[in-house]
Amino acid sequence: MRLSRYFLPVLKENPSEAQIVSHRLMLRAGMIKQSSAGIYSWLPLGFKVLRKIENIVHEEQARAGHHAMLMPTIQSADLWRESGRYDAYGEEMLRIKDRGGRDMLFTPTAEELITDIFRAHVSSYKDLPLTMYQIQWKFRDEIRPRFGVMRGREFLMKDGYNFDLTKEDALHAYNRHLVSYLRTYERMGLRAIPMRADSGPIGGDDTHEFLVLADTGESEVFYDSAVTDLTFGDREIDYDSVEQCAAIMEEFTSKYARTDETHDEALFGEVPEERRRTARGIEVGQIFYFGTKYSEAMGATVQGPDGKNVPVHMGSHGIGVSRLLGAIIEASHDDNGIIWPEGVTPFHAGIVNLKQGDAEADAACEALYASLTALGLEPLYDDRNERAGGKFATMDLIGLPWRITVGPRGLKNGVVELTSRRTGESEEMPPEQAVERIRDIYAGHKHGQHVEMMANRSFHTYI
Ligand code: 5CA
């Protein structure tokens, strides 16, 4: 992409309505624009990152054996009356009437609709286990939408639902989700810690939230500092293996880590004092096992091996896809702007031309642009007629992890400059070498950036 042709409405001033850094930077970097309280348009740069995050979620869901699907945002109230949640959900649910006076609603979550699909089509235990998920917009009429995409009213969520014959099978599905979420967040450059939580309006006893530690987080959390040393890395695991998933679940959840809703002072007191931490966190996902709550209420049964009909055991599993942009920025920025982790960066590298119009500099930039593009990478070339300082400020603000700076002086010696956004370190090298370095960084990137780029094509060919 050439910046002169891109739509990147950056703001020089700090927007006064933004209280936290991620909201401020998303507005300043021209990623989002508020349309009404807690409802945002996604401008090209923000939308690109949103799609990258979605792609990682899709890939990791596929790896765990879950099936992608899509359900409507507007649903009939009737199903919600069956489960008893139409009244129970309260003011957060946006209720609508259609022209025939029928009660409709904008989905805040989709347990009822998926259970209705299940009961219409599945009647035997032989079709289990089954997990389906979607990435779809949700609406919750939050009392206090704030912090930009962090607590929106309209927000993008991955919601997945498992159907199993027995409680044991459903608990395996729960563990499998936990494992796949660990991997999902790490690919986004995040450390999200599973913490025992409260189930709220979804219901059930077993639930963990995934929290990214940040001072601006809305949740108060208590944990044993040993949990922050755990990483999933690029372990190969068999998601069908009950033992492997249970072992990872045990490894990541046996140490004390709880949100304030489930915090237990006495238990916390058993953690060695020097490892006891109280902090704030951003909830980027939550998994639930709620057994037969919905299947019993809505008659979702299967015939078991003994010929008897039994309600299926279920759970639901959410990832805050749009909230993740805010969480990643809270975890990765400096005074000059965003610092995107390689896994989610909107462009792989920026090219800054220090002297637009200089024949040699222009040609070198064009050559870099063509070489990176030919490798399947997406560069952002700042080809505007602007001062170098302004170009650097824009690149720093929008946070591309790598920048190649090209100027007549360097070119006289046959070199360009490669700069890391994270460390600020620069190195001079011939242009071909800079291209190779960027190629290697993304090829060697954790969990296979190559696979991710292939998926970009298959999932979102319309971009
Ligand atoms: N049905 C279940 C799981 S699919 C469910 O709705 N879970 S949830 O309520 O925990 O939401 C899942 C995730 O969506 C949360 O962990 C959070 O990351 C995100 N989320 C929830 N409310 C908002 C909001 N108002 N703005 C942005 N993200 C939100």
Q: Which atom of ligand 1 is nearest to the CA of 140?
A: 25
| pLDDT given for residue 181 in this prediction | 98
List 193's β-bridge partners, or say none.
Answer: 211
Which atom of ligand 1 is nearest to 158's Cα? Answer: 4
What per-residue confidence (pLDDT) applies to 8? 98
pLDDT averaged per 10 residues, the chain (length 463): 98 92 98 97 98 98 98 97 94 97 98 97 98 98 96 98 98 98 97 92 84 95 97 95 98 97 96 98 97 95 97 98 98 98 98 98 98 98 97 98 98 98 98 98 64 35 25
Looking at ligand 1, which atom is closest to the CA of residue 285? 16
CA 244 remoteness from chain centre: 25
Decide if domain 3-337 falls under CATH 3.30.930.10: yes
> Going by CA atoms, what residue is nearest to atom 22 of ligand 1?
151
Select the CATH number that applies to the domain covering 347-462 from these four: 3.40.50.800, 3.30.2000.10, 2.70.98.10, 3.30.950.10: 3.40.50.800
Residue from 323, 324, 330 to probe ligand 1 pocket by mutation (most atoms less than 8 Å from CB) = 323
| Cα dist from 256 to 23, 197, 319, 335, whole Å | 31, 12, 22, 34
Residue 290 half-sphere exposure, CB side, CA atoms within 13 Å?
Answer: 21
Q: Which residues line ligand 1 (CB under 6 A)?
A: 109, 140, 142, 151-152, 155, 157, 159, 202, 283-286, 316-318, 320, 322-323
- From 157, 196, 288, the mutation candidate for ligand 1 (largest count of ligand atoms within 8 A of CB) is 157
Residues 6+ apart with CB under 8 A from 192: 181, 182, 185, 210, 211, 212, 284, 285
Q: Whose CA is nearest to atom 13 of ligand 1?
A: 320
For the whole model, what pTM was predicted? 0.94
CA of 136 to the centre of ligand 1 (A): 12
Place of tokens 């940040």: 214
Distances (CA, A) of 212 to 49, 251, 252, 286: 18, 18, 14, 12
Which tokens go with 327? 């969480």
Report pLDDT for 445.
67
Rounded Cα distance between 232 and 159, Å, is 22
Listed by start position, the domains of the chain span 3-337, 347-462
**The predicted structure's pLDDT at residue 390:** 97
